């Protein structure tokens, strides 16, 4: 039998098959990481494409008054959806912020042309976790860091690896941001609300994934205001941990979405390479710290989010998967959401 041309394969896809792929993609996007696991998005299926909407009812008033982390989170969901399409053998056709009259419409996505299926990042979607424990003494090598840089650049986002001479200032910035947040009721209210959600809500950060503050170069966010952390820190030292800052050229909503796509791409890529990570967003949540960080980077680029990356310690058990809302709660047909 003659092999089908790519165009013939595309035409042989029924609209039903196309919509099924898009549904599949929005289901895979449920696993995307989000600020405090707020999962602040909704999908609306419309014809053969899906609309990704920001869910402002899930925006954090204290931590995220501008909605930058909300849009970053939507960007991670968008990228997860494109990864699912790629695993099914389709490029994704994406338009970010397609309608200036409707700024909460984050993107349109539809199944694009057939391409070679690649499920490496798709498999990483189900392995990836936020790992807040100290990492091992082994440092990720330059080759893998270059691969991560390339993953970020696919979205026109830059990945700056914090240099040894910048580490003291970066450490001070993270610590100061944490102090500011714990001393301010607006920030504290958000942290308490999203760490004490009921299981029925299927969102928020569970103590099962947070570690008690210990002596660390850079301690992860302290989530223990309302409930003590329940994950063992383990035997890691963080001596090999690398700190990176995602930066964007301008500081607009489209950049925050792109930064979220890059965060997802980098995170899934590093997961596929056996690395683990956790984001550090306090440094962009507190405005004076965000400005100081920008100065540390030479005043040109805008910091979007930071992250710690490393190897897990040998005997570390995987962090338990965090809870997610269901497709019924987040995916709707026209007129439903």
Ligand X SMILES: Cc1cc2nc3c(=O)[nH]c(=O)nc-3n(C[C@H](O)[C@H](O)[C@H](O)COP(=O)(O)O)c2cc1C
Binding site for ligand X (CB under 6 A): 33-37, 69, 72-73, 76, 129-130, 132, 205, 209, 220-221, 278-282, 305, 322
Q: Which is nearer to ligand X, 132 or 160 (CB)?
A: 132
Minimum distance between the CB of residue 110 and ligand X, rounded to whole angstroms?
Answer: 24
Q: Which is nearer to ligand X, 46 or 127 (CB)?
A: 127
Q: Which is nearer to ligand X, 49 or 155 (CB)?
A: 155
Residue 158 CA to residue 80 CA, distance in Å, equals 19
β-pair type (105-114, 158-161) = unpaired
Q: Which is nearer to ligand X, 72 or 159 (CB)?
A: 72
- Chain position whose Cβ is nearest to ligand X: 33
Minimum distance between the CB of residue 227 and ligand X, rounded to whole angstroms?
Answer: 14
Total Cβ atoms within 10 A of residue 65: 12
Task: Round the CA-based radius of gyration of the chain to a whole number and report it.
Answer: 20
Q: Which residues contact 214 (CB under 8 A, 6 or more apart)?
A: 134, 233
Minimum distance between the CB of residue 249 and ligand X, rounded to whole angstroms?
Answer: 19
Minimum distance between the CB of residue 321 and ligand X, rounded to whole angstroms?
Answer: 7
| Ordered strands of the 242-248 beta sheet | 158-161, 242-248, 302-310, 276-280
222: tokens are: 């302290």
Minimum distance between the CB of residue 297 and ligand X, rounded to whole angstroms?
Answer: 18
Beta strands in 133-275 (DSSP E): 158-161, 242-248
Residue 231 CA to residue 133 CA, distance in Å, equals 8
Q: Which is nearer to ligand X, 85 or 286 (CB)?
A: 286
């Amino acid at each position: 039998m003659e092999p089908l041309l790519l165009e013939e394969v595309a035409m042989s896809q029924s609209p039903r098959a196309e919509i099924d792929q898009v549904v599949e993609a929005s289901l895979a996007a449920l696993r995307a990481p989000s600020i405090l696991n707020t999962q602040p998005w909704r999908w609306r299926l419309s014809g053969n494409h899906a609309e990704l909407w920001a869910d402002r009812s899930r925006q954090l008033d204290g931590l995220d008054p501008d909605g930058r982390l909300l849009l970053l989170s939507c960007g991670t969901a968008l990228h997860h959806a494109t990864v699912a399409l790629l695993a099914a053998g389709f490029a994704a056709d994406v338009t970010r912020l397609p309608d200036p009259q409707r700024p909460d419409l984050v993107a349109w996505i539809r199944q694009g042309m057939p391409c070679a299926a690649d499920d490496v990042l798709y498999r990483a979607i189900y392995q990836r976790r936020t790992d807040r424990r100290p990492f091992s003494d082994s440092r990720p090598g330059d080759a893998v860091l270059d691969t991560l840089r390339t993953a970020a650049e696919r979205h026109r986002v830059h990945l700056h690896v914090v240099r040894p001479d910048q580490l003291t200032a970066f450490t001070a910035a993270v610590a100061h941001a944490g102090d500011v947040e714990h001393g301010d009721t607006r920030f504290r209210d958000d942290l308490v609300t999203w760490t004490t959600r009921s299981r029925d809500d299927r969102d928020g950060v569970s103590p099962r994934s947070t570690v008690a503050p210990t002596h660390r170069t850079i301690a992860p966010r302290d989530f223990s205001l309302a409930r003590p952390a329940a994950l063992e820190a383990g035997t890691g030292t963080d001596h090999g941990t690398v700190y990176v800052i995602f930066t964007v050229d301008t500081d607009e909503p489209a950049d925050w979405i792109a930064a979220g796509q890059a965060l997802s791409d980098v995170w899934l890529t590093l997961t596929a390479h056996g690395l683990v990570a956790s984001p550090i967003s306090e440094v962009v949540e507190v405005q004076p710290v965000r400005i100081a960080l920008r100065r540390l980077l030479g005043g040109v680029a805008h910091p979007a989010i930071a992250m710690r990356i490393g190897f897990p310690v040998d005997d570390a058990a995987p962090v338990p998967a965090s809870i997610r809302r269901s497709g019924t709660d987040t995916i709707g047909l026209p007129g439903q959401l």
